[in-house]
């Protein structure tokens, strides 16, 4: 594998790195340590800058008005975009835009006009409603939200849990079981994806679910005799899980890359502190225990970087990359958590305070070992390929 950056990729990395260091990080000095949004004027100014750089909507295909960057370049950008305090909650505070719900690239032209294009222009917000209270690690079998057709409408009943941004969204992609054979145990077939406007009667945001994050993030929603027009079915009836699964696999690569970014920054901070801090008459960097912690950090960082770029290059070649993406997600989330933990230990009491971003990254990385599929599911994905898919 050749992971040497092209001249263009190096220019992009340098540009994003400079943007984060010079434009994003200084603004955080005046924000609450757990802030998730910028002042509207600052946000608008930075969006104008990313548009001028040609990076706004960096993960949007060229045919939809984006820069059409390959997966490897997007992963490299994600590594840089996360290297600030809120980098794992909202990289660069959303000033690079994004594809949002990429499943809408497969929508009908009418659906694109109503939902995709307004989302890409920043006029609408969507949310992804897959996980249910009955379980999230095996969503294909755990889905108990039911939908049945009534004339030219579908009627949905059920609930979803840990849904990001449903309380602010204009519409949701809702996955419901629509087959009658086997009910909730029917497996991944028999699930349909619906585009549901959040002001639809029967759509209810029950509560905001408070997690390790200090900001509002997850929600619980329910559907009570909610009627959805048949033209709002996304893709084919009973084939909606394939849409969800594609998102889960592809998203794992930039998801992993963001984790690596904060690990790299945490290591830089730990090295600088170890060289500066003196205890018992010598610098921390002179102590073998600290040296070994920094070496272990470097091993974790290089391992994660290799897995991420290997997965990204496989995706760019249109090779099978599900196992590689699973490995990248698993390795990066777990390794980055270890790196940040060691960096906190090296900083001592200071590492536990909100004076530094380490404690926020620590919390965010703990969440990321579960988000986009927990570590155990990533191991299951890899095991199935290793064993030839004959073991469940």
Q: Which of 231, 372, 376, 385 is catalytic?
A: 372
* b/e burial code for range 346-366 (CB count within 10 A of at least 16 → b): bbeeebeeeebbbbbbbbbbb
Counts for the chain of helices (H) and strands (E), in that order = 12, 10
Write out the two tokens for 384.
Answer: 């199935």
Q: Which residues contact 72 (CB under 8 A, 6 or more apart)?
A: 9, 309, 312, 313, 316
Query: Is the CB of residue 87 less than 8 Å from the CB of residue 262?
Result: yes
Query: Is the CB of residue 250 less than 8 Å from the CB of residue 316?
Result: no
Strand ranges for 97-152 from DSSP E: 126-129, 146-150
Distances in Å between the Cα of 24 and the Cα atoms of 46, 76, 317 are 8, 18, 33
SS (H, E, C) 152-211: CEEEEEEEEEEEECCCCCCEEEEEEECCCCCHHHCCCCCEEEEEEECCCCCEEEEEEECC
Side-chain-side CA neighbours of 76 within 13 Å: the count stands at 22
Position of tokens 């619980």?
220
Q: Which of 129, 132, 142, 253 is nearest to 193 (CA)?
A: 129
Q: Is 372 a catalytic residue?
A: yes
β pairing state of 191-197 and 171-177: antiparallel
Distance CA 173, CA 171 (A): 7
Among left, alpha and beta (phi > 0; psi -120 to 50; other), residue 304 is: alpha
Q: Which residues pair with 152 in a beta bridge?
A: none
Write out the two tokens for 366.
Answer: 């703990």
Write out the two tokens for 134.
Answer: 């009955």
Q: Hey, which residues are catalytic here? A: 372
């Amino acid at each position: 594998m050749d992971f040497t950056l092209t001249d263009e990729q190096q220019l992009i990395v340098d540009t994003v790195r400079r943007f984060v260091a010079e434009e994003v990080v200084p603004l955080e000095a005046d924000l609450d340590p757990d802030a998730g949004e910028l002042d509207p004027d600052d946000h608008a100014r930075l969006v104008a800058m990313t548009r001028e750089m040609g990076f706004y909507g960096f993960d949007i295909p060229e045919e939809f008005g984006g820069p059409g960057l390959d997966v490897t370049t997007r992963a490299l950008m994600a590594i840089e975009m996360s290297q600030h305090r809120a980098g794992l909650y909202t990289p660069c505070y959303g000033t690079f835009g994004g594809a949002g719900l990429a499943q809408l690239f497969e929508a009908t032209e009418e659906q694109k006009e109503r939902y995709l294009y307004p989302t890409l222009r920043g006029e609408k917000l969507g949310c992804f409603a897959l996980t249910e209270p009955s379980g999230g690690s095996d969503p294909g079998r755990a889905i108990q939200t039911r939908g049945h057709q009534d004339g030219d409408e579908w009627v949905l009943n059920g609930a979803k849990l840990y849904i990001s941004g449903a309380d602010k969204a204009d519409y949701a992609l809702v996955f419901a079981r629509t087959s009658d054979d086997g009910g909730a145990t029917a497996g991944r077939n028999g699930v349909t994806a619906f585009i549901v406007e959040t002001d639809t009667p029967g759509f209810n945001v029950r509560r905001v679910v408070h997690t390790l994050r200090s900001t509002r993030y997850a929600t619980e929603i329910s559907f009570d005799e909610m009627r959805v027009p048949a033209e709002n079915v996304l893709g084919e009836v009973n084939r909606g899980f394939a849409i969800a699964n594609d998102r889960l696999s592809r998203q794992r690569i930039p998801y992993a890359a963001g984790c690596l970014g904060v690990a790299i920054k945490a290591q830089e901070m730990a090295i600088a502190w170890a060289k500066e801090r003196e205890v018992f008459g010598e610098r921390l960097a002179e102590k073998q225990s600290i040296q070994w912690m920094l070496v272990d950090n470097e091993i974790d960082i290089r391992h994660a970087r290799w897995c991420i770029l290997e997965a990204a290059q496989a995706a760019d070649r249109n090779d099978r990359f599900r196992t590689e993406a699973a490995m990248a997600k698993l390795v990066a989330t777990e390794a980055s958590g270890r790196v940040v933990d060691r960096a906190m230990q090296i900083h001592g009491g200071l590492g536990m305070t909100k004076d530094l971003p380490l404690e926020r990254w620590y919390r965010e990385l703990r969440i990321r070992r579960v988000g986009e599929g927990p570590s155990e599911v990533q191991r299951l994905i890899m095991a199935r390929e290793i064993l030839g898919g004959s073991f469940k």
